[in-house]
Homo-oligomer: A and B are copies of this chain.
Amino acid sequence: MTTIKDVAKLAGVSTATVSRVMNGTGYVNPSTKKKVNSAIKQLDYRPNDVARSLFKGKSKMIALFVPDIMNPFFPELARAVEDVTNHHGYTFILCNTDDEIEKEQTYLNALQQKSVDGIIIVSSTITKELISKIKIPIIALDRIIGANMSSVTVNNREGAREAVRYLKSIGCQRIAHICGPDHVINTAERMKGYLDEVKDEDWFLSSYIVSGEYYFQTATQAMKKLLTVHPEIDGIFVGNDLMGVGVLKGAKELGIRVPDELSVIAFDGIMLGETTTPSLTTMAQPIYEIGARAAEMLLEQINDSKYQSKREEFTVQLIERQSTRKRGESIDR
């Protein structure tokens, strides 16, 4: 490996000078600068980032924690974070935590020991105590963690309300909800939104709410059980798209026609929802934007000593596709 010394020797200057031209710090005579640059080129020299990191205590790396990389929502999010961070010269590290606090703990330690500059976290299990022990900048994404840390989220509750209102507006009379896992804050928020709209309806039953655990297969099962017990259900608001697709699958298996007999709306707006037939109506999050915004905020926090933590909330947007239709409207396919 060629080092700064080799360059210095070849250019006939000191290592300090080489460092100066590399970093553009301090004055250096144009002619020596030329010599140095040509030496660098000649040797195809690249500075050792590890040595740099050791000196600076920074690594030019940032990490993203996601609970489930197999849920397409997270690759889309990761993609955004990666784009932004790369663009600013950072190396991006993706960590899959399975929403297990032990894995989060392990990653947190490992990354800290590597002088990672900042972390974006999607987590429901991580605790404030754990975070407070970490001195590096952290941003919460998709789910608020608490404490006074910055976060980027969407209006889950209002989005859920909108979804349910939409179902009502197209004539659904019995609306159920397939929710996510208990411990996820989004689950609670979206459920609140659902309840806001249905709890005073005379048809509402608490057994209209079942959990699909944010998994495809679990949602299929849950949906089938639900519709078997409650065949009167004609609309379902599903907690995320992955489960929404599971519900579509369950309907097919039950011989229930979507959207003719049952309207389904979900949440997230991932590409998966466009692949099915019928395609999935959904409350779409601006996935790329929130990922990108979180990355930008993290970079601000890293580079600005007097950064103030803030919470930003984005709005979800209804995307009507084929899994919902006004009651009684004709089938034109």
Contacts and interface: CB of A to CB of B under 8 A. Distances in A.
Interface residues of A, number: 48
Contacts of A109: 46
A113 B275 contact: no
A114 B94 contact: no
Select the residue from A50, A70, A78, A82 with max chain B CB neighbours within 10 A: A50
Interface of A: 1, 46-51, 53-54, 57, 59, 61, 69-70, 72, 74-76, 78-79, 82, 86, 91-96, 106, 109-115, 216, 245-246, 248-249, 252, 271-272, 274-277
Given A70-B271, A277-B248, A111 B82 contact: no
Interface SS majority for chain A: helix
7 contacts: A46-B112, A69-B79, A70-B72, A70-B79, A72-B72, A91-B111, A252-B277
Given A46-B112, A70-B76, A93-B94, 14 more contacts: A46-B113, A48-B54, A50-B114, A54-B54, A59-B114, A69-B79, A70-B75, A74-B75, A78-B94, A78-B96, A92-B95, A94-B94, A245-B275, A276-B276
Contacts of A95: 92
Contacts of A96: 78-79, 82
Interface centre among A49, A86, A245, A249 (most CB of B within 10 A): A49
Q: Determine how many copies of this chain the complex contains.
A: 2
Contact of A48 (B48, B113, B271, B275): B113
A163 to B, nearest CB: 21
Nearest to A96: B82
A111 B54 CA distance: 16
Contact of A275 (B54, B94, B216): B216
A48 B112 CA distance: 8
Nearest to A48: B113
A41 to B, nearest CB: 14
A271 B72 CA distance: 11
Nearest to A252: B277
B271 A246 contact: no
B49 A113 contact: yes
A195 to B, nearest CB: 28
B271 A249 contact: no
A59 B76 CA distance: 28
